[in-house]
Chain A
Amino acid sequence: MTVACKRVNDNLIEALRGIVGDRLSTAVAVRDQHGRDETYHTPHPPDVVVFPDTTDEISRIVTLCAQREVAVIPFGTGTSLEGHIAALQGGVCIDLNRMNGVIRVNAEDMDVVVQAGVTRKQLNEHLRDTGLFFPVDPGADASLGGMAATRASGTNTVRYGTMRENVLALTVVLADGRVIQTSRRARKSAAGYDLTRLFVGSEGTLGVITEVTLRLYGIPEAISAAICTFPDLESAVDTAIRTIQTGVPVARIELLDEVQMEAINKYSNLAYPVQPTLLFEFHGNNAGVVEQAETVEAIAAEFGAAAFQWETKTEDRNRLWQARHDAYYACLALRPGCKGFSTDVCVPISRLAECINETRLDINETGLVAPIVGHVGDGNFHVIVLMDFDDAAEVARAKAFNERLVARALAMDGTCTGEHGVGHGKIEFLTAEHGDAISVMRALKMALDPFNIMNPGKIVSL
């Protein structure tokens, strides 16, 4: 069954102008920019882009689109990776960037209400003097509305969780234009089904998230980081696993393989050993941080770590983590002119070493240039395949490699996507992974969006 949306016509554009005035564009450049993400997916521009200022305007826009069965695609910063923002059926792209106000910081209750267009870095800037921070840090400086919609995570999930654990409530414009608030400010909601988390990760397919209430954390009294080099991938991964199993409350454990280390050294002008490496960060009070680091150092030594180097100075630590955040761009520099394609499987941590090892062998056999980075504390790792998107044979090789990788992860009871999401790029993998649940998801989608106007063609196709 296909439920097709209608296209935008002049009459609708006039009606939209009645709501947003000049904050609307049909210019090709603007539409192109809103139909393209940072990946190899084919761009699909929307018919028109609107830039609303308020939830009420969005409600009126969606109401108009619902009456005319025109697709609605919410857009934050366009940094998703699986074609989430592609306007597969044209329609109206709602760009939330103008809704970038921090509405209220409740320092005592450690929460904050933001408009959906506020980015994660902007929020942390705003919080700087409060002693609080928001931990979820995907690579891009994404909007918090987009992060909620894609259930984003980052490098410190192992301690602070993903958006799933950190969104307390949402304001959402539903597919018929009505506005709901999913929960009150109280932390614990037992007032019905958990609608907040139904929308977290729904990728814009159930409604437009316009405001987000987020949980905040106290900036730790002490933060320290360490970098540790290993003779091989397996001992690095085993160190990470043992650390988690021991219950050390590390804030971050990131794995970078030797190819990635070489890329980082070149890109960030550093001189780390070109070997499999773990980066750690510890949060706590002064004594706690020392204790955590010593425990991990002992574990690492057991697995043959070469050196365990502390970075206690803020600037050294920042340089280290900036290098990690720039990993993707560093990779691109390995093969100038190429683009990166990132895989995203996640497996139970007990299978992680095996999965990464088999994948490394596969990469070597396939002859791809493909560094590995991983949020190994969660069992999630990325292979960044560098390729020439114009070389059909190379693209085919990369895709075949990814299919093998997903199959490998599923066979180990893992998932095809730990954090990038489904969009339209992974719909087929989702079916392979969750067969029966797809019909449940489809029933939910149809119940909440009967005309299939909300970001159609993502997660489930109708």
Chain B
Amino acid sequence: MTETLKPDTADQVLDAIKWAAGEGMPLAVRGQGSKEGFGRVVDVPHCLDLTGLSGIKAYEPSELFMTAMAATPMAEIEAALRQNNQHMAFEPPDLGRLYGGGNAKESGATIGGAIACNLAGPRRIQAGAARDHFLGFNAVSGRGEVFKSGGTVVKNVTGFDLSKLLAGSFGTLAVMTELTFKVMPAAEKTRTVLVLGADDSNAMKAMAAALGSSNEVSAAAHLPIAAAAFSNVSYVSGAGKSVTAVRVEGPGPSVEHRCRALAELLKGYGAIEELHSENSGTLWREIRDVRLLADGDNLIWRLSVPPANGGDVVARLGAEIGGRVFYDWGGGLVWLSMGARPHAGHEIIRAAVAAHGGHATLFRAAADVRAQVPVFEPQSDALRDLSVRVKQAFDPKSVLNPGRMVEGV
């Protein structure tokens, strides 16, 4: 039975971690638990529930940053930003459906979880990863020491970049209590140029051409016919063909101009369609939240490869694995859904991805599978050793989320 510690203040977080470090009692660090299905299961008797640390602390739209407590719901943050026509440019995904087996419930995702998992959506290719928008934090290390790093300025070179280290560390180094991140003006208008019927290989070329052009493309995805069929945008699901989607955002006249330029550039790859703001919004949310694969309880892999290589990796896997795929980030990100198979097929998948200099993450699978199969790409011995040393520097007693990323770390 798990005992839950539920601090309401940063001081109480400090007390809890001091206690844990003193007693050698590991803690499962948790926000709303919306991404508990991501990473390995932390099976320890004590849970540090951060939901008491919620609320926006500082937000002046003109300052272009926001400071919020760690467990502030993303929904609350996004609502505040929307009122001021702003957004988080890295397009954080809402994985509620994915981990909820396709149910439409609110995920309850928090800002702390979004940064700790370093998850970014389709705009990553233009705006960067979650960590690139993460300016600073207050935290308590596994040593039971309060520290802060970064601040509200957009650039600094004050020593080791602790913000970048904490982004994507899954709560294994320190518990963040307060985060400061960039917010940006939201685009006035969004349009999506669709190319219908391109095969995977041509779609990679089309996306590369679009991204290499001067049209400031903010997202490029390719949905083979099986994935496109799951869209709620009728132009996409009803196309009866694969759909390659290229998004442009900005002031009205410029968006229209760039759409025309892209349509001209891409017309050789297939018939061209265009989505306006509302349909664009729906489609890119489906892509961002992996909704096109969220149904059922299939295994879901996220393959990260050099952009031009996505199609080749899938071609290599196709015969062996089957499943449903779609591509984001101009082909650099492949989402793969497949039926159960021994060890989630990780050896076949990782061999194919490694051949192209990429890596694979087991994004959704039952807890027992995630306990047996490395969720994240296994590291070389030297890198693993370095990671262990980093972990020990922050959390020598290994009390914060032990084993969440790698078994035994």
Q: Which of B159, B168, B304 sits near A187, CB closer than 8 Å?
A: B304
Q: Which residues of B contact A245 (CB under 8 A)?
A: 62, 64, 185
Tell me which residues from 137 to 182 in chain A have a Cβ below 8 Å from any Cβ of chain B. Answer: 150-151, 153, 157, 161-162, 164-165, 174, 178-182
A380 within 8 Å of B (CB atoms): yes
Query: How far is the CB of A449 from the nearest CB of chain B, in Å?
Result: 10
| Chain B residues within 8 Å of chain A by Cβ, number | 85
Select from chain A the residue with minimum beta-carbon distance to B124: A188
Question: Which segment, of B100-108, B229-237, B388-396, faces chain A?
Answer: B388-396
Q: Which residues of A contact B215 (CB under 8 A)?
A: 285
Contact B141–A440 (Cβ < 8 Å): yes
B60 within 8 Å of A (CB atoms): yes
Query: How far is the CB of B75 from the nearest CB of chain A, in Å?
Result: 23
Q: Which of B156, B250, B305, B383 sits near A186, CB closer than 8 Å?
A: B305
Question: Which segment, of B41-49, B126-134, B269-277, B365-373, faces chain A?
Answer: B126-134
B18 within 8 Å of A (CB atoms): no
Contact B152–A447 (Cβ < 8 Å): no
Question: Which segment, of B193-201, B282-290, B316-324, B353-361, faces chain A?
Answer: B353-361
Contact A193–B387 (Cβ < 8 Å): yes
A284-B216, A416-B158 as given contacts; A440 in contact with B393, CB under 8 Å: yes
A19 to B141: give the CA distance in the assembly, Å.
Answer: 42
Contact B306–A197 (Cβ < 8 Å): no
Query: How far is the CB of A205 from the nearest CB of chain B, in Å?
Result: 8
Tell me which residues from 184 to 212 in chain B have a Cβ below 8 Å from any Cβ of chain A. Answer: 184-185, 187, 208, 211-212
Contact A190–B304 (Cβ < 8 Å): yes
Q: Which of A106, A192, A221, A284 sits near B376, CB closer than 8 Å?
A: A192
B405 within 8 Å of A (CB atoms): yes
Contact B60–A379 (Cβ < 8 Å): no
A220 within 8 Å of B (CB atoms): yes
How would residues 71 to 90 of chain B score, 1 for a CB under 8 Å from any chain A CB and 0 otherwise?
00000000000000000000
Query: How far is the CB of B387 from the nearest CB of chain A, in Å?
Result: 5
Contact B386–A448 (Cβ < 8 Å): yes
A190-B168, A193-B387 as given contacts; A109 in contact with B155, CB under 8 Å: no
Q: Which of A206, A285, A291, A347 sits near B153, CB closer than 8 Å?
A: A347
How would residues 184 to 199 of chain A score, 1 for a CB under 8 Å from any chain B CB and 0 otherwise?
1111111111110110
Query: How far is the CB of A250 from the nearest CB of chain B, in Å?
Result: 13
Query: How far is the CB of A140 from the nearest CB of chain B, in Å?
Result: 15
A348 within 8 Å of B (CB atoms): yes
A313 within 8 Å of B (CB atoms): no
A222 within 8 Å of B (CB atoms): yes
Q: Which of B157, B164, B302, B380 sits near A180, CB closer than 8 Å?
A: B380
B258 within 8 Å of A (CB atoms): yes
How would residues 300 to 311 of chain B score, 1 for a CB under 8 Å from any chain A CB and 0 otherwise?
001011111100
Interface size class of A (residues with CB under 8 A): 35 or more
Q: Which residues of A contact B187 (CB under 8 A)?
A: 247
Contact A106–B158 (Cβ < 8 Å): no
Q: Which residues of B contact A440 (CB under 8 A)?
A: 141, 145, 147, 149, 162, 393-394
A393 within 8 Å of B (CB atoms): no
Contact B165–A193 (Cβ < 8 Å): yes
A415 within 8 Å of B (CB atoms): yes
Contact B153–A195 (Cβ < 8 Å): no
A284 to B406: give the CA distance in the assembly, Å.
Answer: 43
How would residues 42 to 68 of chain B score, 1 for a CB under 8 Å from any chain A CB and 0 otherwise?
000000000000000000101111000
Query: How far is the CB of B394 from the nearest CB of chain A, in Å?
Result: 7
A222 to B405: give the CA distance in the assembly, Å.
Answer: 45
Query: How far is the CB of A110 from the nearest CB of chain B, in Å?
Result: 7
Contact A186–B145 (Cβ < 8 Å): no
Question: Which segment, of A85-93, A397-405, A429-437, faces chain B?
Answer: A429-437
Q: Which of A157, A187, A346, A434 sits near B306, CB closer than 8 Å?
A: A187
Contact A436–B147 (Cβ < 8 Å): yes
Contact A201–B386 (Cβ < 8 Å): no
A106-B306, A191-B379 as given contacts; A249 in contact with B216, CB under 8 Å: yes
A180-B383, A192-B387, A437-B147 as given contacts; A350 in contact with B214, CB under 8 Å: no
Q: Which residues of A contact B181 (CB under 8 A)?
A: none
Tell me which residues from 405 to 448 in chain A have a Cβ below 8 Å from any Cβ of chain B. Answer: 413-422, 430, 433-434, 436-441, 443-448
A460 to B376: give the CA distance in the assembly, Å.
Answer: 32
A188-B129, A198-B161 as given contacts; A418 in contact with B155, CB under 8 Å: yes
Contact B154–A378 (Cβ < 8 Å): yes
Contact A413–B161 (Cβ < 8 Å): no
Contact A194–B165 (Cβ < 8 Å): yes
Contact B153–A194 (Cβ < 8 Å): no
B382 within 8 Å of A (CB atoms): yes
Query: How far is the CB of B1 from the nearest CB of chain A, in Å?
Result: 32
Q: Which residues of A contact B4 (CB under 8 A)?
A: none
Q: Which of B359, B383, B392 sits near A190, CB closer than 8 Å?
A: B359
A21 within 8 Å of B (CB atoms): no
Q: Which of A108, A182, A414 sits near B151, CB closer than 8 Å?
A: A414
How would residues 148 to 185 of chain B score, 1 for a CB under 8 Å from any chain A CB and 0 otherwise?
11011111111111101101110001000000000011
Given contacts A180-B380, A186-B332, 4 further A-B contacts (CB under 8 A): A187-B306, A193-B165, A201-B159, A350-B60
28 contacting pairs across A/B (C-beta < 8 A): A106-B308, A108-B307, A108-B308, A110-B211, A110-B307, A151-B161, A180-B382, A184-B358, A190-B302, A190-B359, A191-B361, A193-B168, A194-B118, A218-B213, A285-B215, A349-B64, A349-B154, A350-B60, A415-B153, A417-B157, A418-B157, A421-B157, A434-B149, A437-B149, A440-B149, A440-B162, A444-B393, A448-B393
Binding site for A on B (CB under 8 A): 60, 62-65, 118, 124-125, 128-129, 131-132, 141, 143, 145-149, 151-162, 164-165, 167-169, 173, 184-185, 187, 208, 211-216, 250-251, 253-254, 257-258, 261, 302, 304-309, 329, 332-333, 357-359, 361, 376-377, 379-380, 382-384, 386-387, 389-394, 405-406
Cβ-closest 8 pairs across A and B: A247-B185, A221-B214, A197-B164, A185-B357, A436-B147, A447-B393, A191-B377, A108-B308
Binding site for B on A (CB under 8 A): 106, 108-111, 131, 150-151, 153, 157, 161-162, 164-165, 174, 178-182, 184-195, 197-198, 200-202, 206, 218, 220-222, 244-247, 249, 283-285, 287-288, 291, 295, 346-350, 378-380, 413-422, 430, 433-434, 436-441, 443-448, 459-460
